[in-house]
Chain A
C-alpha cells in the first residue's frame, strides 16, 4: 500500500510508466498535451532537484504555492512534498490582504509562483521578492533528485487554508499519514462502480476543474496517480466545453453549479457534447436531489462525497443509485471511527488533521482530548450505516419553541425559485426570515415571484419551519473568498 509521496512517485515509474498521467489543452500549441507517468515522475524529480540545489536544508521549511491550476502546479506540489518541505498552497483568487495574512502565518522560506498574482498585486514582490521562485524553473533545470523516504509520517507535511465562517482563514495541518489514510476510501468505490455497472473503470479518465489549492484536488491527484488513470485538466472554466471535447473523460468531480450545467445539457438534449462523461462525484455542498435523480435516470452514475479539509476530505461516500438513499451523503469510511455527540457528527482516526497551525484555541474547539474531530455538522446515521446530514451546528436556528431549523435546508429550497439568485435564512424575533438577492434590476415582479414561491414552499413545510418574512437584498450577499456565505 502506498503511504508516502516518495512511494507514490516511485510507483508512477514502477507500475504506470507508459500510461497517460495528465493531459491539458495548450493554448500556444492549439492542441492537447499528454504527459505519461514516467515523464510526470521525471518532472517531479527535476523540480525537487532544483529546490534541493537551491537549499539542501529545505526539509521542514515551508514552501507556498501561488499559481493557476495547471500541470506545473501539480509537478511543484509533489516536488515540495518529495523534498520533505512543508507545502502550503494558497488561493490565487484572494486579495493581498488575505494572502498577506496567510504568508505572515506560514512564514514560508520560498513561494513558488507563476507571476499571475504578482502582476495583479505588486505588494507581493515588494514584501517577499527574495522568496519568490518561478513555477516553471524545473523545465530548464539540470538537477534531479530521487528524494528520500518520508522520515516521519506524523510530521507536518501540508498546510491547507480553510475558510472560517467568520474571521480569518485557518491553516489545517496535515501529515503524510493523514494525507494517505483515506486513499483506499477514494480508490475502492471505483471497483464497486464496476461491479454495479459493468463499466471498465481501469480506463476511466477524470476531467478536473477543481481548484488545486483545495483539499479535493490534492487528494484526487494522489488517488488517480495511485490507480494509474488519466487526469484531464481544464484550467479555465471558460473553455469547459472545448476542453471536454478535446479530452474525452468518464468521470468528473462536481459542485452544484457544475451539476446544474450537466443536468441542463442532458434535459436540453445536448448530452452528446459531454462525450463519455458518465460518473459524477458530487461534493462540497448539498446537491439538489431532483437534479441527481434526473441524471441517474439519464444513465449517469452519481456518487456523493462528504468530508472536511480537517479530515483530508474523508467522511462518507454514497455509491447507492437507489433514489431512496439520495438524501444520504453515504456510508462511513470503514477505517475510521464515527459517533454522534448531541447530534454532531464526530470522526476519529488517521485522516483527522494534526490541528490548526499556530492556533491551539481553534484546535481545541474542534479536536477533543480523545482525538475526536467535531465536524460541526448535525447528522443521523440509519441502521444500515448511511449518514444523513441534517444541518450545521454553528448555523442552526433555534426557535422560541425549542425547535432546531437548518438555514441551509431552507436556502436550498428558496434557491429553486427561478427569481432567486441567492438567499440567506435567519432568525428574526423568534420567526424565520429570508433575505433574498434577485439580481440587478429586479423589481416588484421578482418580489411577487419569490413570495409566491415561499407561499407554496410553506405549504410543504412543518409549521415551525415556515418562512414568515421576506426581504429583498440590494446587492449580492456577502461571501468570503472561498465563496461561503457570511452569516454576520
Chain B
C-alpha cells in the first residue's frame, strides 16, 4: 500500500471517529492539538487502524504518534 493510500485510510478513520472533515487534515496536523483529539479518540483510531491494516500496534508506540505524518511513517514501515 502506498503512503498516499495509507494517509487516505487515516483521513477516512478520522472522519468516522471524530467527524473531522478531510479538508482539515494535512500531514503536519498534530493529533491532540490541531485536530483536538482526546486520548480516547486516539485509542479508538488506533483500534480502527489495527483492524484496517491487520496489525497490532503496541501501546508503547502511541507516544511517538504526534502528527498524521508520524502515523503514516509507522504504518508505511509496517505494511507499505
Residues on A lying within 8 angstroms of B by beta carbon are 236-242, 257-258, 260-261, 264-265, 268, 270, 418, 439-441, 476
Contact = CB atoms under 8 A, between A and B. Distances in A.
B39 A257 contact: yes
A236 B36 CA distance: 22
Contact of A418 (B19, B33, B43, B63): B33
Nearest to B46: A238
Contact of B44 (A240, A258, A440): A240
Contacts of A236: 47
B4 interface: no
Interface in B27-43: 33, 36, 38-41, 43
Contacts of A264: 36, 38, 41
Contacts of B66: 439-441
Interface in B47-77: 47, 50, 63-64, 66
Nearest to B43: A238
A107 to B, nearest CB: 31
B25 to A, nearest CB: 16
Which 3 A-B pairs have CB atoms at the shortest separation, nearest pair first?
Answer: A238-B47, A261-B40, A264-B38
B17 interface: yes
A476 B41 CA distance: 21
A241 B40 contact: yes
Contacts of A268: 19, 36
A242 B41 CA distance: 11
A238 B44 contact: yes
B28 to A, nearest CB: 12
B47 A261 contact: no
User: Chain B's interface: helix, strand, loop or mixed, by majority?
Assistant: helix
A408 B16 CA distance: 37
Nearest to B33: A418
Contact of B43 (A240, A260, A439, A476): A240
Contacts of B63: 440, 476
B17 A260 contact: no
Given A261-B38, A265-B38, A270 B43 contact: no
B54 to A, nearest CB: 15
A476 B33 CA distance: 18
Contact of A239 (B19, B41, B47, B64): B47
Contacts of B47: 236, 238-239, 242
Contacts of B46: 238
Q: Indicate the member of A236, A238, A240, A268 with the most B CB atoms within 10 Å.
A: A238
A476 to B, nearest CB: 8
Contacts of B33: 418
Given A239-B47, A440-B63, A270 B40 contact: no
Contacts of A270: 19
A258 B43 CA distance: 12
A260 B40 CA distance: 9
Contacts of B36: 264, 268
A264 B40 CA distance: 10
6 contacts: A241-B40, A242-B47, A260-B38, A261-B39, A440-B63, A476-B63
B16 to A, nearest CB: 10
A331 to B, nearest CB: 31
Given A238-B47, A265-B38, A270-B19, 19 more contacts: A236-B47, A238-B46, A238-B50, A239-B44, A240-B44, A241-B17, A241-B44, A242-B44, A242-B47, A257-B39, A260-B39, A261-B41, A264-B36, A268-B19, A268-B36, A439-B66, A440-B66, A441-B66, A476-B63
Which interface residue of B17, B40, B66 has the most chain A CB atoms within 10 A? B40
A81 to B, nearest CB: 31
A264 B46 CA distance: 18
A258 B47 CA distance: 17
B64 A237 contact: no
A121 to B, nearest CB: 16
A2 B17 CA distance: 44
A63 B50 CA distance: 36
A258 B64 contact: no
A441 B67 CA distance: 11
Contacts of A258: 40
Contacts of A476: 63
A236 B56 CA distance: 14
